[in-house]
Amino acid sequence: MNKDTQVKKIIRFMQKHGSITTMQAFGIGVTRLASRIFDIRRMGIEIESEMVSVKNREGETCRVARYKIA
């Protein structure tokens, strides 16, 4: 999958679900979410980010970035 395809998938996901985290991005085949968010911002689309607490697969709390279209 090329970079442009990943960018389109991320934008569609955020439009449908409101936001995206790294774990959600893994689910749609994107492993470098922060890099693709950088590309989206360079396209002129304003993206907000916030740090949120989530549970990892082992039940431990960790902080990740959640991105959404502003």
Averaged over successive runs of 10 residues, the pLDDT of the chain (70 residues) comes to: 87 98 94 96 97 93 96
pLDDT computed for residue 2 by the predictor: 77
pTM, full prediction = 0.87
CB-based contacts of 54: which residues, under 8 Å, 6+ apart? Answer: 21, 23, 61, 62, 63, 64
3-69, CATH topology level: Arc Repressor Mutant, subunit A (1.10.10)
pLDDT for 4: 79
Residue 57 has what pLDDT?
87
Between CA 35 and CA 16 the distance in angstroms is 21
Token pair, residue 50, equals 């916030």
What six digits make up the tokens of 27? Answer: 């689910």
Give me the pLDDT at residue 56, please: 86
